Amino acid sequence: MQPQMAYDRAITVFSPNGRLFQVEYAREAVKRGTTTVALKFIDGVALIVDKRVVSRLVEPDSIEKIFCIDTHIGCATSGLVADARALVDRARMDAQINNITYEEKIHVKTLVKKICDFKQSYTQFGGVRPFGTSLLIGGVDDLGCHLFATDPSGAMIGYKATAEGAGRTAAMEFFEKEYKDDLSMNEAILLGIKALYVSTDKKLEAKAVEIGVVNKDKKFRKLTVDEAKGYVKKVIKK
C-alpha cells in the first residue's frame, strides 16, 4: 500500500506501470453517479437521466442533470454535478465564441474536442485535480447527428447508444441486444427508459426521470415533467 501512496500525491506522477491514480479515482466518481443513457434516433439524439431522488423532502425539479449548451447541442452528466456545471459553462462559452467569430453554429465534434482538451489539461499540471464527471454530449449540425461520451482523462468516443454511471454495464448490455439504427424519437426514448429501468434493478421512479432531445430542426429541449412521466408510465406499467 505504501508504494502506491507515493503516486497518489500528485496528478503529474505516473506509477511504474503507467497509471495516473487520480484519473482512475475520477472515473470511480463517475461510476458512483446516477445512471445516464443516451442514444441516437433517425434524425436526432435523446438524453435520459435517473436523478435518483433519495428523500421525499427533496424537490425533484431542483436536481439538474441535463443541460442545454447551444440550441443544437445538449448534454447529460454522471458523477460530480458541480464539476459538470463548470464544464457546461465552459462549453457554452466556446459555443458562443464560435458563433460570434464565424457567424455560424459550432460543429458538435469541434465543441466536444474543446471540452476534452480542457479536461485533459487538468490531468497534466500540478495543483489541480481531474473533473470527476463524464458528459454525454448529443447534437445535430450540418454534418448529421452526433453522440459523444467524454472521460475524466479527456478522451472522447462517438456512440450510437451509450450509458454512464452506476448502471452502465447493465444498460450497455441491454443496448447491445435491443438497439437499432432506424429508431424514431418515441422509440428511442422508450428504449432509453427501458435501459434505465433494467440498470436500476427496476427501481426507476417516474418523477426522477429527466429527458432531453435534439433533432434535425436543431432545437434542443428538455421534456416537461408530465411528458417525461408519460413515457415512463408506458414502460413501468403499475
Catalytic residue among 34, 36, 162, 200: 34
State how beta strands 66-70 and 44-50 pair.
unpaired
Give every CB contact of residue 135 below 8 A, 6+ residues apart in sequence: 75, 76, 77, 84, 87, 88, 115, 149, 150
Start-to-end C-alpha separation, the chain: 50
Amino acid at 176: E
Q: How many CB atoms lie within 10 A of CB 94?
A: 19
Instruction: Determine if residue 192 is left, alpha or beta; phi over 0 gives left, psi from -120 to 50 gives alpha, anything else beta.
Output: alpha
Please name every residue paired with 222 in a beta bridge, in sequence order, or none if there are none. 212
Question: Catalytic residue at 34?
Answer: yes
Report whether 161 contacts 38 (CB < 8 A): yes
Q: Indicate the SS3 state at residue 228.
A: helix
Listed residue (121, 156, 120, 114) closest to 135, CA to CA: 156
Q: Indicate the SS3 state at residue 209.
A: strand
Catalytic residues: 34
